[in-house]
Structure 1
């Protein structure tokens, strides 16, 4: 099982890309928790803290596609240099604002600027894999990519908790920013990451101008794959609410964190199994199977009679999530228009953030304090079923080796 991963690491430039991925993806989960704690310490209001997190997420979701398009137009080097300078300055401003008495609007503006200047590192990394490794290693590459992302969301909050024992929370915010900056600088040093194919805009009629404005969203297969990604993170957003409500219903509120941790563990296992797979099932069929199986397991989650049964089912849910989230970038890399590779993965981030946000809103609406989270699990199952329907509408070229 480990052979594909050992072979992956033998390709020149792969360790550097993995290192950049670890550092740039460690920053956001650290910031998420550290910012929540720092803003609450500063204002005494969870409402303001929630607004701060929302400001960061919204700015990030809106601006990452812009960064991705700029990379495809003018190259990764220029964009990364500009983002590195701007991100360093805005992070420094945020740490200063957190440490000093300032109005809430200044704080929220600073947080939004940090999100807006975040380097488009993940889109660049995901767009680099097809240029860095042969097609036979794309599966393991995106498996490592997904595992890295998942692990950082587990390690980041733990690291924040440990660092709080030794320093003020605003300093931890600065450390999270430093991780992103160092990771982006490491990415800037990668020859493969800098060699993204550039698009060449030309004077065209109004219809083609609109299509150019839409970019990769005008490409049918790409748009469907992004919608599948959004349905997957909608499911994940529902699970945030559902697991907390279920744990409370079973009389163990603290088990919610354990359940989400096991969900991440299952996701990592699913990604690793996909990367080392030897079965003949192609990616499109695998995606259908994963979505349908996820729907069934989520319905079983809603009817789990005990916490132990729910725990086992959550691991299975995570495993299927890992399969789906690793198949998606592999298919996107194969189907995305050649001159929009980075922007495609930037939109992937946006669609995933939007899906997650909508999932938490819907699940929160349907879950009352005294309920067991069944409605949230059912909403997640419906989203998984919608994902399977989107896959059914997907038409990939017959020349695709995965078909």
Structure 2
């Protein structure tokens, strides 16, 4: 399916030697951990206080929907006025909202009160991943390292999804049901403020330039057809994350070993991470549009077997394979964004994709929670299958929109080292 070209792609070592990269990578890594801890911590805490996965999934879903709805607007504001201007109030609101939600859950507050607190908690979730990607975009524009950076960020995301659920589950099951959410709030506050302090590496706000020029150049990423196709694709990926979170928690609870939840989810995320490392080390000859279709088909195929797995080893093996198939789709999708949108809409485009994952995750958590409450143990695993199958249908139908419009010379092979746009 893929082979390397004569000139190997610049590696991770060269990428990490980019001047001043570590000044935003380290605080960014700390600040993005809470993103993977939030929904699973809500599920575990609310399920503990209410006894229902359906209620827990609904509260978590409200958080995810709010995140998906508001994240692109935050990305647009970050492009327009600067990341720091969005982050500083955002981390404060998020921290206060999560603490409030925790107190309400422990106080057996009515469901409407939990929903009311979940909305600002999700809406104010800092979009650190897209902001880091935007900083790489500024530093590496036109460089062969651009796709290596896309792979590196996906690996970082997946490492986050390995560590986040493991830490959250360990805290919720081994310390206190509320410990996961409180740790999430603390990491958001400290990591977010440290990241916001790195002013020298943030992209130049478009509002800082000439006003007339900004009005001409700043076009919403949502108006690009290819971005809309990628949003649907990432929605399907979100259903995998959400369906796995609830279904694995219900499965391990049903066999009397809730502590295995973090291990099984960590295995799934580890497959994702290892696959991301491999993808970043390969210089692909296959065009990214085709890679996305092939990778997504493999993801749908692997997800189709989850509902039939009834043992820990089998579920761990299938989860690992599902994780392996996710990273290529994520990396390729984020790479395509650079060729589809202008630099002035880059953060917004990334947050649309991140928000799509959150929205898909929220819908999956809700549906999977209802299936687990009403039907057999493991029924929630049908959600990743359904979500990826629907998204694959859309992707196959509209894949031609993922090819950027020609502006003179275009990239035909997917790895164009002399291309006029940053696709590498």
Tell me which residue corresponds to 1:334.
Answer: 339
Distance 1:217 1:361 in 2: 26
**Which string of whole-angstrom CA distances, capped at 9 and with x for unpartnered residues, describes residues 351-371 of structure 1?**
112223444566678884177
Matched, 1:217 2:231: no
**Which string of whole-angstrom CA distances, capped at 9 and with x for unpartnered residues, describes residues 274-320 of structure 1?**
11113322322221221233344445667889986665454333222
Unaligned runs of 5+ in 1: none
Instruction: Trace 1:14-53 onto structure 2 (pairs within 5 A).
Output: 14-39=21-46, 49-53=56-60
**Which string of whole-angstrom CA distances, capped at 9 and with x for unpartnered residues, describes residues 211-245 of structure 1?**
98x82211112222222222333355455677789
Tell me which residue corresponds to 2:140.
Answer: 133
Residue 67 to residue 328, structure 1, CA distance change in 2 (3 Å): same
Matched, 1:114 2:121: yes
TM-score for the superposition, normalised by structure 1: 0.79
SS at match of 2:126: coil
Distance 1:363 1:285 in 2: 31
Distance 1:198 1:136 in 2: 25
Distance 1:151 1:261 in 2: 9
Tell me which residue corresponds to 1:187.
Answer: 195
Distance 2:99 2:236 in 1: 36
SS at match of 1:233: helix
Distance 1:300 1:51 in 2: 25
Distance 2:379 2:44 in 1: 28
RMSD: 4.1
Distance 1:108 1:301 in 2: 30
Deviation of 1:324 after TM superposition, in Å, equals 0.7
Deviation of 1:124 after TM superposition, in Å, equals 1.6
SS at match of 1:17: helix
Tell me which residue corresponds to 1:316.
Answer: 321
Return the match for 1:276 from 274, 278, 281. Answer: 281
Residue 342 to residue 279, structure 1, CA distance change in 2 (3 Å): closer
Q: How many residues align?
A: 396
Distance 2:174 2:80 in 1: 44
Distance 1:41 1:113 in 2: 22
Distance 1:89 1:310 in 2: 37
Matched, 1:78 2:71: no
Q: Is the 8 A contact 1:245 1:372 kept in 2?
A: no
Distance 1:168 1:236 in 2: 24
Unaligned runs of 5+ in 2: 1-7, 416-424
Distance 1:82 1:332 in 2: 28
Tell me which residue corresponds to 2:206.
Answer: 198
Q: Is the 8 A contact 2:71 2:123 kept in 1?
A: yes
Tell me which residue corresponds to 1:348.
Answer: 353
Deviation of 1:198 after TM superposition, in Å, equals 1.2
Return the match for 1:149 from 154, 157, 162. Answer: 157
Deviation of 1:256 after TM superposition, in Å, equals 7.1
Q: Which moved more, 1:165-174 or 1:274-283?
A: 165-174
Q: Is the 8 A contact 1:29 1:157 kept in 2?
A: yes
**Which string of whole-angstrom CA distances, capped at 9 and with x for unpartnered residues, describes residues 249-282 of structure 1?**
9x99878765543321221122111111133223
SS at match of 1:23: helix
